[in-house]
Amino acid sequence: MTSLDTTDPLALYVHWPFCVSKCPYCDFNSHVRADVDQDLWRRALLTDLRHEAESFERRPLTSIFFGGGTPSLMPPATVAAIIDEARQLWGFSPDIEITLEANPSSVEAARFVDLAAAGINRVSLGLQALDDATLAFLGRAHDVNEGLGALDVAQRHFARVSFDLIYARPDQPPGQWTRELERAIGFGTGHLSLYQLTIEPGTRFATEVAAGRMHPLDPDAAADLFEATRALSAAAGIPAYEVSNHARPGQQSRHNLAYWRYEDYLGVGPGAHGRRGGVATQRRRKPENWLKAVERNAHGIERENALAPEERAAEALLMGLRLDEGLSLSRVAARSGVPVERLVDAARLERLAAQGVVERDGARVRVLPAGMLLLDHILGEIVAV
């Protein structure tokens, strides 16, 4: 296995599985909980955390991300305990980013003061829309006023705030989305995640589409909205740095960049995935099964597999080419052990470069803005491993 520079970034993902209500994106009713034994779960998460520290080299963490169901309803004491334990186990880089996902409800916003005191310095809010009809369509419990109230509280208590919006909704006219995005940019956050609505199998939306009760936006209209989104955000000084993520200079999500740049990240908690030193880890997904595994084994891992060089290379290419900066084939080769000449199909890459959708400059390859709409097709064409 190729050795890695110990100065490389190291990220930690902490998955909190519990939701306060079922949403159209989640098909796991077992994750909806009104009551959780917080002491039991805090101890189990800390135990799972310590296993990761024992399983991989210790170098300072550059980011921690609390995600999953409704992590903003974790007791601040639990958040603080995890942050303190992580600091003891790995140490922190001087500018560590510690993010927590939150629903924009008044109940969760009331915890922001304590969460900031616990060590959270960045919040990602699931605003999702700026009109009440769309929020109802998306199955969200908050309305626009409550969401914007939570955003205001977040901006007063956290140094960095991001929120997401979903567009390309059924029958969404271009002007409506443009006005919504202009309003969103006007709130002044340093980061926006702007996602096109996708229909995932097993969700309520998939059922509605199959029954003919919902009709996704025409692909050409969705493509127009994608291009308008990138143009408008770039003009406002918050350009896309990844397919769906936009940031002001220096405000990119360092944690997500760890994924896209194929750096090492540790995952703890039910359902969490990790990549450390060429090894893929996956925790047990069902909360009760994970908890029993931690009690039995002192960790919640279900699978732990050494990835073949070709698997590591393919993952690095598929993730890195999502970024506006592209990637270095030399770096992918060094980290995976697959020679540069085997990573991409040079002839297809040259043909796509002539079409103006990709660019190669020595060992660096990037998908150009004109190619981002065709990203899946381009990846299928040029990734050779």
Per-residue model confidence as pLDDT tens digits over 31-50: 545 567 899 999 999 999 99
Distance CA 219, CA 245 (A): 20
User: pLDDT category, 106, cuts 50, 70, 90?
Assistant: confident
Say which amino acid occupies 22. K
Section 223-241 average pLDDT: 97
Question: Over 60: is that where the pLDDT of 127 sits?
Answer: yes
Distance CA 301, CA 304 (A): 7
Residue 247 contacts residue 161 (beta carbons within 8 Å): no
Distance CA 383, CA 355 (A): 17
Encode pLDDT of 206-227 as tens digits: 787 778 777 788 889 999 999 9
Q: What's the predicted TM-score (pTM) here?
A: 0.92
Encode pLDDT of 265-311 as tens digits: 999 999 999 999 999 999 999 999 999 999 999 999 999 999 999 99
User: Which DSSP symbol is given to 35?
Assistant: -
Structural domains for the chain: 10-260 (3.20.20.70), 311-382 (1.10.10.920)
Give me the numbers of helices (H) and strands (E) for the chain, helices first please: 15, 14
